[in-house]
Amino acid sequence: VDLDTIDLSNLNRQFLFRKHHIKKSKAHVARESALKFNPNVNIKSHHANIKDPEFSVEWFKSFDIVMNALDNLEARFHVNEMCMAANIPLLESGTEGYVGQVTVIKKDESECYACQEKPKKITYPVCTIRSTPSKPIHCIVWAKSYLFSQLFGTPDDEEEEIKEDMDADNAQEIENLKRETQELIKIREAIGSDNYPYLVFKKVFTDDINRLLTWEDVWKKRAPPKPLVYETLENGVIDNGTGQYSSNSGTLEDQRVWSLKENFNVFVDSVRRLSKRALKEKAEDPTASLSFDKDDDDALDFVTATANLRSYIFDIKMNSKFDVKAMAGNIIPAIATTNAIIAGNDCDASF
């Protein structure tokens, strides 16, 4: 049972899938691929959500064992609850980068998945994210949860990772930030134009930073931000970077930290790519908008480059595309060898 479809990025770690499978159901293609190994096995695939009503307690009771390979807590809690109700053993497995685990869950014999409290989602104060970042994650959350949605998504969406604490100390700054957001929404009217990357860059990396520099008291205790100038980076004056980058060229390239010039080039290019996609989707459906997906290379390029440019401004360590993917929304990139080991352990545990 799987609701997902196959994406290009799945091919380097989910070896049942091939290029011609892209956009097809993972569940159906996995069944077809497995039958090629053993045509005598009986497999029924469902391109569906495991929480759909058709997968009732009675449905779970029809199995001797249930094996989980889920990537979100909500679905894991649901399957755990259903297996407890059906009194069916559950093999709960998961991977996080280079580590993974397989846990046998059996009613009245072991603790269930919900028995231990899970980590709560981390949120960040809006003023820290928008005005005074001090860590790479602050810049990444700003790029992913704020700027991406303002430029390509639904501007009115509530950013779950950004917490708005309205009190006497920051009320005025929040009003300033709301005004900045309105200015950005107006700039969005130019999406798809040749100068859209320039307008966005000037707004968030020059004008907004110059406004922050007027906070003289704040910068007495920490290094002030350094505004960036579009024309300077375009001409390659600041930085000796090669200006070459690869958007999808393998793990080693993704683990390299881009130079300032490279980040600028990726920013401009990714804004153009995402703008083109956003306009195309809007033409087909007026209510359509883009949303960040860790496996969307255009979106990840944008977030990486944008977060790194902001990091440079605030004298924060810049990060590779691989590391940005790991930090964006607490996402842990999947690694093929880890998945293979855990899948093997899953099979062992079933016996």
Tokens at 259, concatenated:
């130079």
Given 83, 112, 115, 127, which residue is catalytic? 127
Structure tokens belonging to residue 41? 């096995």
Place of tokens 């900045």: 180
Give residue 251's Cα distance to chain centre.
Answer: 17
Distances, alpha carbon 262 to alpha carbons 115, 118, 257, 266, in Å: 47, 39, 9, 6
Q: What share of the chain is helix, strand, coil (3-state, %, to 5)?
A: 50, 5, 45
How far apart, in whole angstroms, are the C-alpha atoms of residue 75 and residue 49?
Answer: 9
Contacting residues for 275 by C-beta, under 8 A, at least 6 apart? 152, 191, 192, 196
d(CA 56, CA 50): 9
Does residue 127 carry a catalytic annotation?
A: yes
CB-based burial of residue 92 (10 Å sphere; 0-12 exposed, 13-18 middle, 19+ buried)? buried
Q: Closest by alpha carbon to 174, among 108, 130, 230?
A: 130
- 315 neighbors 138 (Cβ within 8 angstroms): no
Burial of 187 (0-12, 13-18, 19+ CB in 10 A): middle
Rounded (5°) CA angle 328-209-226: 90
The whole-angstrom separation of Cα 329 and Cα 24 is 26
The count of other CB atoms within 10 Å of the CB of residue 338 is 18
Pairwise CA distance, residues 200 & 187, whole Å? 7
- Catalytically active residues, by annotation: 127
